[in-house]
Structure 1
Amino acid sequence: CARDVLVHNPRVRMAGRITLGYSVDKVSAPWHAGLRMRSHDKTFCGANLISSSWLITAAHCIRHFHIEFKEIFAKEKVDIFLGTNSCNGESGVKYGIKSYVVHPKFGARAVYDNDVALVELDRSVTFTEDIRPVCLQPSSIINNNYLTHKLGHKIGRVVGCGQYSEFRKAAPEYLREVYVPYVNRDDCASVNIGQGNFTDSMFCAGYSRRNMGDACFCDSGGSLTMRLSENHPWVLVGIVSWGVGCDRSNHYGYYTHVAAFENWIQNYTRSDRDP
């Protein structure tokens, strides 16, 4: 799986909102894919390459498609671009969708509960420096080494093509990144997000102060990755899922807990996973 060849220092990057922060070189996040609605010429979500044929994204990118575009999602309507940091897919490799699977319990206990989906590409990917799958780890490793404060504060890296801010809807030209700290579960549940909306299928990250950095609209489906050191690869820990606005005071960003779906993911992708 992919290693970052363009190393950034999270301490320097903490202040940038994802769309006001820093552009990402395409080899720095070679797993990132852009999902574009062909007829609207719009990138509406991100996704993440996890094997030669499969992407993982947020279920709401598919199930809530009609809210954005006033029509039902269909695989024939969407183009997928890999191998580019251009938010419109320019210079990237275009793929279609062969099939997709939305988690059967999406929305079961809360609107964004089990917010995960798998997308099968219409042909296998040829791995290059610009196109590589992101690493996955078992839930035991994720929970004990990444989603914990036992070994110090954990910083997640989020990349996406979301809009500049909650009230500025223009999208950036290039893929951007922001670094956000993991937040313990008690703090995630204590803010005003409505009873029962924070479930065990998700975690939260970010800042309680505004203008410190966050994901925003159209970043959905993209990655929150972590790594143990600069000598370790980036590991997919979360998928951008939901939040109350973007970058607001006393609110965090909420991410699908990828490792919670370890078995479900393997059931579909086991024979295709990069060794």
Structure 2
Amino acid sequence: MAKTRKYLKRTVAVSAAALAAFALQPASAGAAEGPAGNGGVDTKIVGGTPAEEGEFPFMVRLSMGCGGSIYAPDLILTAAHCVDGSGPDDSITVTAGVNDLEDSNAVTAQSTEVTVAPGYNGQGKDWALIKIDKELDLPALNIAKDASFNEGDFEIAGWGADSEGGSQQQNLLKATVPFVDDATCGSAYGSSFIAEEEICAGLVGEGGVDACQGDSGGPMFRKDDNDAWVQVGIVSWGQGCARPDYPGVYTEVSTFAGDIEEAAAGLGS
């Protein structure tokens, strides 16, 4: 089964203003496909509602058409399929601190280096860290260190499309999606779903709520016992957007928590 990656391919880095203007345009026909190469890509939270200003201060928008979260003041956690591999990279513009991408209060930073999950080959292990050229004075999003948070309802947010084949968004949207067990997700996706590395969420049998094109790399998160947000997943792939029989597939963050921490240390944070 083809994996529909939930990002919009960008060939060059763009300014925050240019990205904001682009975000209002229909999804590109040249959007990236999954490894099997026959999926379309959509770009926003489907079935979502506008986020309140400052509700998710750890959210960032990346200039290639992906989302991300603030892992540390100078590090962004995103999906491996959003970037072009590990090494020096000054092509990615990070926009943070606002819900409206055209807001004059937006904070921007530039990438300096990228580290992609060791062994990433397009199947599973879909995470990456982006080092940026300055520290952001914004809250970071803690990551889950074990599987205890891999249940219940999760929040997702992004500037991606609000329908399959729809338009990018200028303003941040949010939605709630319930956990989908591995057996159900495996039934939908077969061997394409890697239960040891991925976690699924969505309204099975109903559809209508999902991440979509342009949301890739953004966090799936929930509250911990102290009422603080913790990241459980990274938007990765799915069959279309919000289809009844195909939940969204997310990188299972707790599986890679140790690797992410090691990579962050290697980048100097």
Q: One fold, TM greater than 0.5?
A: yes
Determine which of 58, 66, 69 is the counterpart of 1:31: 58
2:67 alignment counterpart: 46
Q: 1:213 to 1:101 in 2, by over 3 A?
A: same
* 1:88-139 CA-partner distances (Å, limit 9, x unpaired): 57531110001110112112xxx3410000001111222xxxx210122322
* 1:194-230 CA-partner distances (Å, limit 9, x unpaired): 424334111100011344311001100001001146x
- Tell me the SS of whatever aligns to 2:136: coil
What is the distance in 1 between the residues matched to 2:47 and 2:201? 18
* Aligned length in residues: 224
1:82 aligns with 2:96: yes
1:227 alignment counterpart: 223
Runs (4 or more) in structure 1 with deviation over 6 Å come to none
The Cα RMSD (Å) is: 2.3
2:83 alignment counterpart: 62
* 1:141-188 CA-partner distances (Å, limit 9, x unpaired): xx13x214xxxxx000000011121122x1122010010001111111
What is the distance in 2 between the residues matched to 1:22 and 1:248? 18
1:209 aligns with 2:205: yes
What is the distance in 1 between the residues matched to 2:235 and 2:98? 20
Q: 1:90 to 1:19 in 2, by over 3 A?
A: farther
Q: Is the 8 A contact 2:182 2:195 kept in 1?
A: no
- Tell me the SS of whatever aligns to 1:28: coil
In structure 1, runs of 5+ residues without a counterpart are: 1-16, 38-43, 65-72, 149-153
1:266 aligns with 2:257: no
Q: Which amino acid aligns with 1:31?
A: F
In structure 2, runs of 5+ residues without a counterpart are: 1-43
Q: 1:250 to 1:90 in 2, by over 3 A?
A: farther
Q: Is the 8 A contact 2:91 2:111 kept in 1?
A: no
What is the distance in 2 between the residues matched to 1:155 and 1:212? 15
Q: Which amino acid aligns with 2:139?
A: R
2:177 alignment counterpart: 180
What is the distance in 1 between the residues matched to 2:71 and 2:264? 9
Q: 1:183 to 1:208 in 2, by over 3 A?
A: same
1:103 aligns with 2:99: no
- Tell me the SS of whatever aligns to 2:83: helix
Q: Cα distance, 1:270 vs. partner? A: 4.5
Q: Cα distance, 1:254 vs. partner? A: 0.3
Q: Is the 8 A contact 1:19 1:172 kept in 2?
A: no
Q: 1:112 to 1:159 in 2, by over 3 A?
A: farther
Q: 1:74 to 1:98 in 2, by over 3 A?
A: closer
Q: Point out the more displaced range, 241-250 or 89-98.
A: 89-98
What is the distance in 1 between the residues matched to 2:212 and 2:142? 24
Identity of aligned residues (%): 27
Q: Is the 8 A contact 1:113 1:199 kept in 2?
A: no
